[in-house]
Amino acid sequence: MEAIWSWFEWLYEAHGVNLSIFYDSLDRDRFFFGLLTTIRLSLICIVASVVIGVVGAWLQTSRFKWTSRLVQGYIQFFRNTPPLVQLYFFFFAIGGVLPKVPDASGHMVPPIGNFTWAAISLSFFAGAFNVEIFRAGIEAVPKSTSEAAEALGYTRLQSYIYIILPLAFRVCLPSLNNNLVNLVKTTTLAYVIAVPELLYVSSQIWSDQFNVREMMNVLLFTYVGLVAVLVFMMHRWEKTLKIPGYGR
């Protein structure tokens, strides 16, 4: 390990390529922490946005007109406004008017931290897309299939659980993939409210080390790598769910 680290140090001294995240233990720790924060934020948002999507799609089929209208309003608002402004709105506008609470040592602090705000804001943003995705999936299941279930005596709930949802989920997966990839890319926005994720820690590193060029390339490849891992896992999952002879 040490040999690799010192090789990067040599690279800097000999060629001026300053990859301090490899040879400098402080920068290495910072970068690793940023990477972890990005992954943690992504995972939390993925889970929360999928939950929002499923619940929202279910609410949309509700018989109460106002529930589905409210969900529609939520979807359209979050889809048609910039995620960055949404984040500012949550963090500065809503977070700014919330009363402060004392923390363990008695200091007055905001009740919701910046990481949590980023998670809330991004989950709502991605969730708005997920509602549409899940609903489209449910609607893509032909009516005749649920009719066949009905003719076999399935109740509404039974045919939902055993027939419609398993099929709908498979139909949704490609669009869900896309949206989740987008979500991971969008976590960079948390930079603006000083959440120490990849972009934020990198900016700290390059202002200390003056190695913008190197850090930029590292960042790009790290994100493309992260997305590639996500895409790879989702494709694997898609494959295991694939029905033989069904689709192409």
Partner 1 sequence: MSGARKHRSVGGTGNLAVLKPFSLHNAAPSAWRLQPGHGYMLFAALVLFVLVGEVQAAPARPSIIATMWKWTPFLLQGFAFNILISFVSIIIGTMAGAALGLGQISVSRPIRAVSWTVTQFFRNAPWLVLLFYCIFLIPFEFELFGVTIPFPAWIKAVIGLSLPVMANFSEIVRGAVQSIPDGQWEAAESLAYTRRQTLWLIVLPQCIKRMLPPWMNLYAVLTMATPLVSIVGVGEGMTTTGEILAAENRSDLLIPFYMYLLCLFFIYCYPIARWTISLERKFAVKI
Partner 2 sequence: MAESDWTPDQPMVSAKDVHKSFGALEVLKGISLDVMKGECICIIGPSGSGKSTFIRCINALNPINSGSILVEGQEVNDPQLDKLELRKKVGMVFQQYNLFPHKTALQNIMMAPIKVLKEDRDEVEQRARHLVKKVRLDGKEDSYPGELSGGQQQRVAIARSLAMRPDVMLFDEVTAALDPETVKEVLLTIRELAEEGMTCILVTHEMGFAREVANHVYFTDRGVIVEHGPPKTFFTEAEDPRTREFLSQIL
Q: Where are the beta strands (DSSP E) in 39-187?
A: 101-102, 108-109
Alpha-carbon distance of 241 to 157, in angstroms, equals: 22
Region near partner 1 per CB under 8 A, out of 2-10, 44-52, 115-123, 239-247: 239-247
Closest distance of CB 90 from partner 1, Å: 9
61-120 residues in contact with partner 1 (CB under 8 A) are 69, 72-73, 76-77, 79-86, 88-89, 92-94, 96-97
Alpha-carbon distance of 35 to 92, in angstroms, equals: 25
Q: Which string of x and - marks every residue 113-152 that binds partner 2 (by CB under 8 A)?
A: -----------------------------x-xx-xxxxxx
103 near partner 2, rule: CB under 8 A: no
Would you give the end-to-end CA distance of the chain in angstroms? 46
191 interacts with, out of partner 2, partner 1, none, CB within 5 to 8 A per kind: partner 1
Q: Which residues contact 195 (CB under 8 A, 6 or more apart)?
A: 37, 41, 114, 115, 118
Is residue 52 within 8 Å of 131, Cβ to Cβ?
Answer: yes
Alpha-carbon distance of 147 to 168, in angstroms, equals: 15
168 near partner 2, rule: CB under 8 A: no
Per-residue b/e over 103-116, b at no fewer than 16 CB within 10 Å?
eeeeeeebebebbb
Read off the DSSP letter of residue 211.
-
Which one of 7, 92, 162, 237 is in contact with partner 2 (CB under 8 A)? 162
Which one of 228, 232, 233, 235 is in contact with partner 1 (CB under 8 A)? 228
240 near partner 2, rule: CB under 8 A: no
Is residue 53 within 8 Å of 131, Cβ to Cβ?
Answer: yes
40 interacts with, out of partner 2, partner 1, none, CB within 5 to 8 A per kind: none
> 3-state class of 109 per DSSP?
strand
Closest distance of CB 191 from partner 2, Å: 42
Which one of 158, 175, 203, 209 is in contact with partner 2 (CB under 8 A)? 158
208 near partner 1, rule: CB under 8 A: no
Alpha-carbon distance of 48 to 236, in angstroms, equals: 22
- Sign of the alpha-carbon dihedral angle for 77, 80, 83, 88: negative
> For binding to partner 1 (CB under 8 A), which residues are involved?
69, 72-73, 76-77, 79-86, 88-89, 92-94, 96-97, 132, 135-137, 139-142, 144-145, 171-172, 174-175, 181, 185-189, 191-192, 199, 203, 212-213, 216, 219-220, 223-224, 227-228, 231, 245-248
> For binding to partner 2 (CB under 8 A), which residues are involved?
142, 144-145, 147-155, 158, 162-163, 166-167, 170, 243-247
